[in-house]
Amino acid sequence: MDWNPDEPPEAGDPLVTTASDTPSVRDALRLVQDELAGAADGLQDDQLTALVTEIQQAGRVFVTGGGRSGLALRMHAMRLMHLGLTVHVVGETTTPAIGSGDLLLVASGSGTTGGAVAAAETAVSVDARVVALTTDGGSTLAGIAHRVVVIPAAQKTDHGGTASRQYSGSLFEQALLLVLDATFHTLWTVDGTPAEDLWPRHANLE
């Protein structure tokens, strides 16, 4: 539901308070849940299917993204490793060069983050595939990528409160993590490997 700061809130809106009460974590949870549900409803099935297919067909998977988007992709990299895929986090000292037949998953809410755009350009130049996850399907990053997953959420510089009442791109980063976890679950379901057979791949040096 869009929110206009120039209009008075309606009764029942998340985080609406009276003089006698204050916002609660429970109110904030409802807001986050509602916004995530709206973002999920706006995802395109064909784009999600293409994401799964690209991962299935990749020789190796590389992931990159800045800030909290990058953290979500690192979590996804761990799950793909648990599934038995060869996966690398861009920027780690042991990450090899990307090449033909590989896949780069890159996330940027705006689709203009310098590091994300540069990584995508490099990947394309060596005949690797690129899937971009962004809020802007017309962005520079989206134009470079072979496949795009548009996540309908506010960019971090959107402070108007219309796309999201949360702070600085939070909805995009939350929805990104859900999309990636749902992608892993789909891949795992298709693969059919029992959970107990994945477990030995969990880190044992921590």
Residue 36 lies in a domain: yes
Residue 17 lies in a domain: no
Residue 8 lies in a domain: no
Residue 6 lies in a domain: no
Across the range 154-173, mean pLDDT stands at 76
Domain count, the chain: 1
Residue 186 lies in a domain: yes
Among positive and negative, which fits the CA dihedral 67, 69, 70, 71?
A: positive
Global pTM? 0.86
Q: CA nearest 66: which of 172, 185, 178?
A: 172
> Which runs of E-coded beta strand occur in 14-75?
61-65
Residue 7 lies in a domain: no
**pLDDT tens digits, 82-97:** 999 999 999 999 999 9
CA distance to 7, 13, 17, 124, 137, per residue, from 23 (Å): 19, 12, 6, 47, 35
Amino acid letter at 61?
V
- The CATH number given to whatever domain includes residue 110 is 3.40.50.10490
Residue 51 lies in a domain: yes
**pLDDT tens digits, 17-69:** 554 578 899 999 999 999 999 999 999 999 999 999 999 999 999 999 999 99
173 flagged as catalytic: yes
User: Which residues are bridge partners to 105 per DSSP?
Assistant: 63, 131
User: Which residues are bridge partners to 88 per DSSP?
Assistant: 62
Q: What is the pLDDT of residue 19?
A: 47
Q: What is the pLDDT of residue 3?
A: 46
Q: What is the pLDDT of residue 13?
A: 59
Q: What is the pLDDT of residue 23?
A: 84
Residue 128 lies in a domain: yes
Structural domain of residue 147, as residue ranges? 28-92+101-152+164-194
Active-site residue identified among 54, 92, 173, 196:
173
